[in-house]
Structure 1
Amino acid sequence: MRHTAAKLFAALAITTSLATIAVGQASADPAVTPAAQDIVGVGSDTTQAVLNQFSTDYNAYLTGTGDTTSPRLYSWDATGTSPITTKTGATSIARPNGSGAGISALNSTTDSTVDFARASRGPQTGDLSTDLFVAFAKDGVSWAGNTGGNAPANLTTADLNGIYTCSITNWSQITDVPGYTGPNATIDAYLPQINSGTRAFFLSAIGGGTAVTPGSCVEAYNPEENEGTDAVFNDPNAITPYSAAHYIGQVYGGHTTSTDAPGYLDLRSVDGINPITSSNTLNPSYTSTAYGRTVYNVVRNAEWTGTDAHAAALKAIFGTTGWICKSGAADLHSFGFQTLPFGACGSTIHI
């Protein structure tokens, strides 16, 4: 079933439990300059909105307990003015856009500038052994097509592989989708920018675990991921990878801005499995396939395993018994993500 942009307006009638989460937290840099001791992150577009909400709620939790001294949590968006000065006393840096850029910023600075990187992918070749990936939620990556356009409601992995390697360039070549007869029209396939974790994960998923190299037919222009408001998507033949959790947060959680919204796009199925359930939540049957992914916050291993106040602050937020794993479920659900089981949330991996 297609989830059309019209359902964005239906999100105003979301359940009371979701309505308690503040709408309007989908995209926002810190409203104050974080203190030098605060825990500050950059990176992934996919998880920035939920990290912004975590920041609001965690800091309110500390204030509510009367704690005025513990480090607060802050997160800088993937896009916006650049450079940024992430905290008091920090060296200004170019704003990191995407998981890869966030991890690079983590590795090229100290905790006086960046404490963690948001990552919508796991460790990969090129990451440092000093990077520790701390798990916090589950997502699914699918694809989105122009609402009312020429793309079918479903594509197979073989179809997506063919489209992005350019062995399939016309909708008339899609012959394995029941009930679909594609028109004679050229497919306009887009990918997010090179540092995008969603891009990296999607290309690996459609390659059966080995990242495919995009063909020359793939559009050279790279729109911001998980945002269908770009004018290039006002095209009946446009398709692009899209985070299912981010889409659910936008459409059913009401977490949008003027740009961070589905816009011209709606989410589609892969291999006959809809990423979204009839209850408008992330489908476990989808996230159990190759298109399901864990999302992370990346920290420096030496700081995580330390015995000082900084290590304690990181674990108080991201650890297995930290605030996100114990108290972040409502935020995760509102922004479309699935929670991880006890022990999996806050678990760590590295190269």
Structure 2
Amino acid sequence: MRHTAAKLFASVAIAASLATVAAGQATADPTVTPAAQDIVGTGSDTIQAVLNQFSTDYNASLTAAGDTTSPRLYSWDATPAGNITPKTGASTIARPNGSGGGISALNNNTKTTVDFARSSRGPQSTDPSTDDFVAFAQDGVSWAGNATGVAPANLSTADLKGIYTCSITNWNQITDVSGYTGPNAAIQAYLPQSNSGTRAFFLQAIGGGTTVAPGSCVQAYTPEENEGTDSVFNNPNVIYPYSAAHYIGQTVGGHTTTTDAPGYLTLRNIDGINPIASSALNPAFTGTNYGRTVYNVVRDAEFNGTGTQSTALQNIFGASGWICNSTTAAADIASYGFAALPPFACGAVVHS
């Protein structure tokens, strides 16, 4: 079974490599310095690519309508590390990497620097109640293994919890996967960095709603999330959490760069459920604990206030805004692997 799975996973990896050559993201960091009035965000790696596409398409829609005065939308990538000046007149800040980093930047600065944070996790008790988490799409988080490695095609929630709490450290301890006999080889478990929304969500999901504390066997090195090109993944024993939507965007949508690609990794199943069905998110998977909503986080006083900025925030992120109602935005969401939310859920606001 391992050999059959390995061939399947290798073929997917080859397809992903071809997609990397053939296609790329619409934009990365803003190609112009955003104006002081523009709506500018940072944060999650998982949803940065679709936000980049939103930026391109939303701004084009304003231009096509002859609107030269409304604030434009811009989004800064999570990497590379270093300082950025998000908009004209803004404070220079360390580039936020991950949902937590973007939310911290939102709360540690004002609208003169950043206006929103991309977040692939929901609100936590430590987030200010004045942060509005505005929903826009659905994702699922699974795990990935080396395309030609020894990991099985499926792991149970109990297996994943055991691996990340270190009660399971060897592939020969996986005994609940039909037809799989794991080799005597140490599992190499990795997690994204601590500000990652995918890390936070995954550790909570494998704990059945209670966040799991990673054990000492989990590797100290934290690769960038949803990027399987890191050389540490060229190892047959690796396991790593991965956004199913981001993976679909990479492999089916062809939205990749040199680093933002599956690389050595392929996506696997949890509890016998494939995260992907018919080249899209599998509703049977997103209906489990591994399905999640993704958000753009804004300050409540500005989202529900008055003036140019508040109008722009509502026009972009609100229930009646461009993301929730534009056919172009809907196509972007699908192209980047995410699933649309029901009409009543897109633009809905939740708090900690």
Matched, 1:180 2:180: yes
Question: Secondary structure of the equivalent of 2:202?
Answer: helix
Hey, what's the Cα distance between the residues in 1 that align with 2:155 and 2:122?
A: 25
Name the SS of the counterpart of 2:84 in structure 1: coil
Give the whole-Å Cα distance in 2 for the aligned partners of 1:288 and 1:73. Answer: 32
Among 5, 13, 16, the alignment partner of 1:8 is: 16
Q: Distance in 2 between matches of 1:25 and 1:6?
A: 19
Following TM superposition, the consecutive aligned residue runs of length 4 or more in structure 1 with deviations greater than 3 angstroms are 9-12
Determine the structure 2 residue equivalent to 1:20: none
For the pair 1:343 / 2:351, whether they are aligned, the reply is no
In structure 2, C-alpha distance between the alignment counterparts of 1:249 and 1:26, rounded to whole Å? 13
User: Deviation of residue 81 (structure 1)?
Assistant: 4.8
Question: Is 2:290 the partner of 1:322?
Answer: no
Q: Which sits farther off after the overlay, 157-166 or 79-88?
A: 79-88
Q: Deviations over 1:66-107 (max 9, x none)?
A: 000000000000002520000000000000000000000000
Q: Give the equivalent residue in structure 2 for 1:301.
A: 300
Taking the aligned partners of 1:25 and 1:37, their CA distance within structure 2 comes to 25
- Cα distance in 2 for partners of 1:273, 1:88 equals 47
What is the root-mean-square deviation of aligned Cα atoms in Å?
1.5
The answer to whether the 8 A contact 1:150-1:236 is kept is yes
Q: Which runs of 5+ in 2 are unaligned?
A: none
**SS of residue in 2 equivalent to 1:6:** helix
Match of 2:256 in 1: 256
Instruction: Indicate conservation of the 8 Å contact 1:26/1:257, yes or no.
Output: no
Deviation at 1:26, TM superposition (A): 6.0
Do 2:19 and 2:255's aligned partners in 1 also have CA atoms closer than 8 Å?
no
SS of alignment partner, residue 5 of structure 1: helix
SS at match of 2:138: strand
CA distance in 2, matches of 1:175, 1:26: 44
SS of residue in 1 equivalent to 2:323: helix
Name the residue aligned to 1:243: 243
Distance 1:47 1:26 in 2: 13
Q: Call closer, same or farther: CA 1:191–1:9 in 2, change over 3 Å.
A: closer
Q: 1:17 is matched with which residue?
A: none
Shift of 1:24: 2.3
Q: What SS does structure 1 have at the residue aligned with 2:232? A: helix
Give, in whole Å, the separation in 1 of the partners of 2:223 and 2:26. 18
Q: Which residue of 2 aligns with 1:71?
A: 71
AA paired with 1:325? C
2:288 partner SS: coil
Q: What is the number of residues matched between the two proteins?
A: 342
**C-alpha separation in 1, matches of 2:30 and 2:182:** 47
Q: Is the 8 A contact 1:268 1:275 kept in 2?
A: yes
* C-alpha displacement of 1:31: 0.3
Report if the CA contact (8 A) 1:27-1:77 is conserved.
no
How far does residue 11 in structure 1 lie from its aligned partner after superposition?
Answer: 4.9
1 CA distance for matches of 2:280 and 2:15?
14
Matched AA of 2:15 = K
Equivalent residue of 2:224, what SS? coil
Question: Any conservation in 1 of the 2:34–2:86 contact (CA below 8 Å)?
Answer: yes
- In structure 1, list runs of 5 or more residues that go unmatched: 15-22
1:26 and 1:256 in contact (8 A); partners too: no
Q: Structure 2: which amino acid aligns with 1:267? A: L
Question: Identity over aligned residues, as a percent?
Answer: 72
